[in-house]
Structure 1
Amino acid sequence: MKPNKTYAGYDVVVVGGGTAGVAAALSASLQGLKVALLEKRIALTGTQANAMVTPFMPSHVHGSATADMLTRAYREHMAGQGRLTLPGNMELYSPESFKLLNEQVLTENGVEIFYDATVITADTDNGIIQSVTALIFDNFYMFEAEQFIDASGDALLSRFAGAQLMTGDTDGSRQSVSFRFEMANINFDRLRQYLAQADYTFCDPADETFMEFVHVPGVEACGDLLEVFAKAQQNGELTPEIARYIQGFSMPGKPGSLSFNNPQMPQLGNVEDPQVFSEYVRYGRKMQHQLAAFLAANIPGFEQAFISQEANMLGVRESNRVKGRYVMTANDYAQRRKFDDGIARGDWYIDIHSDDLDVEDESFKKKYDKGEYYEIPYRSLVCGEVANLIFVGRIISCDFKMQSSIRIQHTCRDMGDAAGRACALAKQHGIALNQVNGCDLKGECL
């Protein structure tokens, strides 16, 4: 396999332009480094745009400078197009505008973006990555750099480079996979009136700036929706697997539309298996259309609504994780543990999506009180096997339960920010990424 061309002279190559990858590339570039970002799709921000994971889940802990920069830029970009924030630093956005904004910010700050770039191999010599090769359109291209950031979401680069991986829980179980979609042409006035009469309190139906449409069995805040969905299951109009978790959010700049954080599919097998992956897509698409038809027939406001788009990637919450120099555990969550080399903070709960509704150990508090947090140590972002590699996002070194907390967007952005700063520090001192003293980063990142 001979590359068609070699791109050389980069300080940093970032593999994956998702939530963490965008922040990492921007952070490194802001430190004066020459950065190439390889993204296998044709839009940045990964699950945020391509899997349509909107909005940001709330966090009360302060974000990084890079995260703040992206947030300010988006608010300026969307000024006058609707409500953009909710209490707890919950950021509302629409995927299309988010794609554009992130692309503009990275380009303006010197990041070279390569779309349709699927990394297929890494050339590693004695624990040092020399280059990565990507398939772009219909040919192979090599990218050389001093340092590499794995923000692939599935530890793709780390695996190719020889790092040790971890998958699933101790019993092999995995988190459920979702297939998000949007519905448009919803009559929100009629829907709000109906929800107010149905004793629905999940959000304030009178609030014209935001809508969160939710049905979860047994949750009293859903009001009369509980009875409506129960009857639908009894008469065979809906399956229990569709009705068990429905959550739709309104979006700025998209009046009359909801972004649904479902369907959450049952466990069909290992999503990394090609046949199983394709079955997830087929199965999820069928669930989307069954739910849309039910809503149009039974919920006032949805009569003329339709599926306006589906995500172009599945919502895979976890696959591979890299085994780093420190493996974070659920015990770190329970103890709100702090570290000398802490480079990011987290306060999201142990949020495991599973076929089993009772997935949390009783020793875990459902959510932190405002102001409580744990820290993510730098040692969980680097490993001993590959010296010039740092990994960020949902793939960092942690166990299955802890991963369900660290994977939210605010936290992934802050990890990306720390990775960019670490690359600058490594270059400044002429050392490998896994030799950087994370304590030197703490003051910059927290």
Structure 2
Amino acid sequence: MTRKLQADVVVVGGGPAGINAAIAAGRQGASTILIERYGFLGGMSTAASVYPWMTFHTESGQQVIKGIAQEIIDRLIERGGSPGHLRDTIGFVHTVTPYHPEIYKLLAIDMLKEAGVKLLLHSFVDGVQVENKVIQSVQLSGKSGPIQVSGRMFVDTSGDADMAYLSGAPTQTGREGDKRTQPMTMKFRMRGVDLEAIRQEMINNPTNFYHKTPFHELNELPLTGIQGFYSQWNAAKLPINRDQVLLFAGPEPDEILVNCTRVQGLDGTDIEDLTLAEEEGLRQVMMMAEFLQKSVPGFSQASISSVAAQIGVRETRRIDGLYRLSMDDVVTGRRFGDVIARSGYPIDIHDPSGKGVTEALVRGDGAYDIPYRCLVPQQVHNLLVAGRCLSTTHEALATTRLTPSCMATGQAAGTAAALASAAGTTAAEVDVAQLQKVLLHNGVVLT
């Protein structure tokens, strides 16, 4: 027998975008249900060990992402779950934000409860009922049998545009032409790392590290990130298609998050490809750990302390919405009248087939606008999206996919869904001026 539930706003996907969307909707007074396939929240931040969060700021240090996202940081600090925003010692962005994933998981639950959100974990959306371009309900599968969840408005924060795809909304995948996506990465942590030995290696051999590393400040700054060890990497000749070592410190004093594996040419929405990716990612983890222990200063006494529960997915499906954010929009810092979020993260494309990373900074004041139209799919009237699957080109996705940006678009989508539900309008008919007013009132930066 199918269990039936109902809410004003139904959010699918409990990652950073979905958490913020559900909190925002609940705080607006909408009855809200958040659906998550794992037994815990956090999405890529917890299931795939994406760490640290980057970035809430522009290159010059202006904070452009606040609202619920900043409230989460403040409350993590209170619980000892984050030191807050720290300077990026790689030099790629102005700040990174370390966080403790387990503390984040519980904080998210507490904030959702405070907002009156009903949480359904261990629940996988495998069907969407649509009538006359309006979603009536989503079908969940799980250990307790089928559940049907009806709603007035729906928010897809699945990362893979699962609900949008199942509802018939147009989607895009990968880059134009060959449809190849950015590679997947299996991340892992090592304990017993001597971070001071790494710091000294960076100071003593600056040409062996990323050229924007703030070497003149390394003695004063907490070590947050390391990119380089070019000579060791080139000498090792590992069968991993990348050109450098990328490491992030913390959250514990002797701990490093390793972001070095690279699995290319597989589709993150195909279970057979995902199976292959998980295997290949784990094999690369073992290779990387051995390489670090044998060849990189500071790792001789280190060992693997955890491996992500799943491989990290940078890119799969995204909606083809009312507007598609482009690389030119990002790098020129374009402003939009229907702005609902801003970001200062640069273009950061991990090559779908090669070794490198394509970088492009945001010009002007260092931030670009994300318009509301990027959250609105075509052909489905009561659906919004946020996070990794909003409407962009392949190139622009390389910035909007980052966690703080996902948090910001999540808050906007959840707020808009609550407003649409209360007014009885479609997603496209939401009063953007009213939405912006509410977002500004709740601490979101729009200018």
Of residues 223, 230, 237, the one that matches 1:226 is 230
Hey, what's the Cα distance between the residues in 1 that align with 2:256 and 2:289?
11
Q: Give, as a single letter, the amino acid of the residue that structure 1 aligns with 2:267.
A: N
Contact 2:347 2:360 survives alignment (8 Å): yes
Matched residue SS, 1:394:
helix
Q: Which moved more, 1:349-358 or 1:145-154?
A: 349-358
Matched residue SS, 1:316:
coil
Q: 1:377 Cα shift?
A: 1.4
Q: Give, as a single letter, the amino acid of the residue that structure 2 aligns with 1:247.
A: L
Q: 1:258 Cα shift?
A: 0.5
Tell whether 2:158 aligns with 1:158. no
Contact 1:83 1:210 survives alignment (8 Å): no
Q: Structure 2-normalised TM-score?
A: 0.88
How many pairs are equivalent?
Answer: 422
Specify the alignment match of 1:218 in structure 2: none
Q: Which moved more, 1:203-212 or 1:177-186?
A: 203-212
Q: Which moved more, 1:435-444 or 1:147-156?
A: 435-444
Relative distance call for 1:83 and 1:416 in structure 2 (3 A) is closer
Specify the alignment match of 2:239 in structure 1: 239
Of residues 173, 177, 181, the one that matches 2:180 is 173
Specify the alignment match of 2:442 in structure 1: none
Relative distance call for 1:26 and 1:44 in structure 2 (3 A) is same
Matched residue SS, 2:135:
strand
Q: 1:195 Cα shift?
A: 4.1
Relative distance call for 1:65 and 1:208 in structure 2 (3 A) is closer
User: Percent same amino acid at aligned positions?
Assistant: 29
Specify the alignment match of 2:420 in structure 1: 426
Q: Deviations over 1:155-179 (max 9, x none)?
A: 1111111211111111122111111
Hey, what's the Cα distance between the residues in 2 that align with 1:157 and 1:255?
40
Hey, what's the Cα distance between the residues in 2 that align with 1:82 and 1:18?
21
Tell whether 2:433 aligns with 1:439. yes
Specify the alignment match of 1:274 in structure 2: 271
Matched residue SS, 2:146:
strand
Contact 1:42 1:116 survives alignment (8 Å): yes
Relative distance call for 1:292 and 1:18 in structure 2 (3 A) is same
Specify the alignment match of 1:347 in structure 2: 344
Q: 1:203 Cα shift?
A: 5.8
Moved over 4 A (4+): 81-84, 357-360
Matched residue SS, 2:389:
coil
Hey, what's the Cα distance between the residues in 2 that align with 1:378 and 1:335?
18
Hey, what's the Cα distance between the residues in 2 that align with 1:76 and 1:203?
29
Specify the alignment match of 1:321 in structure 2: 318
Gapped runs of 5+ residues in structure 2?
Answer: 89-93, 440-445
Of residues 88, 103, 106, the one that matches 1:100 is 106
Q: 1:261 Cα shift?
A: 1.7
Of residues 354, 357, 369, the one that matches 1:356 is 354
Q: 1:239 Cα shift?
A: 3.3
Hey, what's the Cα distance between the residues in 2 that align with 1:244 and 1:305?
23
Q: 1:411 Cα shift?
A: 1.3
Q: Structure 1-normalised TM-score?
A: 0.88
Q: Give, as a single letter, the amino acid of the residue that structure 2 aligns with 1:227.
A: S
Of residues 60, 76, 79, the one that matches 1:77 is 79
Considering only aligned residues, what root-mean-square deviation do their CA atoms show, in Å? 2.3
Tell whether 2:249 aligns with 1:250. yes
Hey, what's the Cα distance between the residues in 1 that align with 2:320 and 2:100?
34
Hey, what's the Cα distance between the residues in 2 that align with 1:231 and 1:318?
30
Contact 1:39 1:118 survives alignment (8 Å): yes
Alignment of 1:363-402 (within 5 A): 366-369=360-363, 371-402=365-396
Q: 1:182 Cα shift?
A: 0.5
